Chain A
């Protein structure tokens, strides 16, 4: 069975500082990995995805994530936080070759301090 663990339900960083949101996954097959962002009272927006191509994945809004198979991790980073980055972030895993559903982590709420 696939699963995702996000370390830290809340993360606070100062504006301009590095953003690091941690995600570890468990999968018995090569996974597809995603990061989604959710702003208040809105649906989910895809930030980036890993689908077995390059291990360093660049997404929208300056975010990127690195797939590390040996560590079963897919941490999300952004060099310099902006106030508009304040939102809930979800790491997710899927096996598109099998059953297509996405398994989400519990989410990390990112707070940006002025």
Chain B
């Protein structure tokens, strides 16, 4: 069990550019979650997958955001036409069907200039 991993850990981009983040969950965890954490706030739920199916999306997830989990393993979160307000820490978590605990990765810190 190597834990949830996220790549990259840091991303600096210019406004208007597209960015993509990757999350690798703990092996055999069928549920995968994305959260966003802005400075001084707690994480806010964005979306989650059960296997490859995206089951829920927060209204925070505008149409510039898209998340995929094509084979039910790793997931990607893409932000198109980034805005300064997108600057945040993007956290990924996973859990198995047999536990009620979500395990979090180290996060990807996005800075939009």
Taking beta carbons and an 8 Å cutoff, which residues of A are in contact with B? 4, 9, 32, 36, 41-46, 49, 51, 90, 92, 94, 96, 99-107
Contact = CB atoms under 8 A, between A and B. Distances in A.
A9 B40 CA distance: 9
Contacts, number: 55
Given A32-B100, A100-B31, A43 B106 contact: yes
B43 A101 contact: no
A101 B100 contact: no
Contact of A106 (B42, B93, B102, B106): B42
Given A43-B4, A43-B91, A101-B48, A92 B104 contact: no
A106 B48 contact: no
B75 to A, nearest CB: 15
B41 A106 contact: yes
A105 B31 contact: no
Given A100-B31, A100-B48, A101-B33, A43 B42 contact: no
B100 A104 contact: no
Contacts of A42: 106-107
A104 B44 contact: yes
A50 B35 CA distance: 21
Given A43-B104, A46-B103, A101-B56, 20 more contacts: A4-B42, A32-B100, A41-B109, A42-B106, A42-B107, A43-B106, A43-B107, A44-B91, A44-B104, A46-B101, A90-B43, A92-B42, A99-B56, A102-B45, A102-B102, A103-B45, A104-B42, A106-B40, A106-B41, A106-B42
27 contacts: A4-B42, A36-B104, A41-B106, A42-B106, A43-B4, A43-B104, A43-B105, A43-B106, A43-B107, A44-B43, A44-B91, A46-B102, A49-B100, A49-B101, A90-B43, A94-B100, A96-B100, A100-B48, A100-B56, A101-B48, A102-B33, A102-B35, A102-B43, A102-B45, A102-B102, A104-B44, A107-B40
Contacts of A9: 40
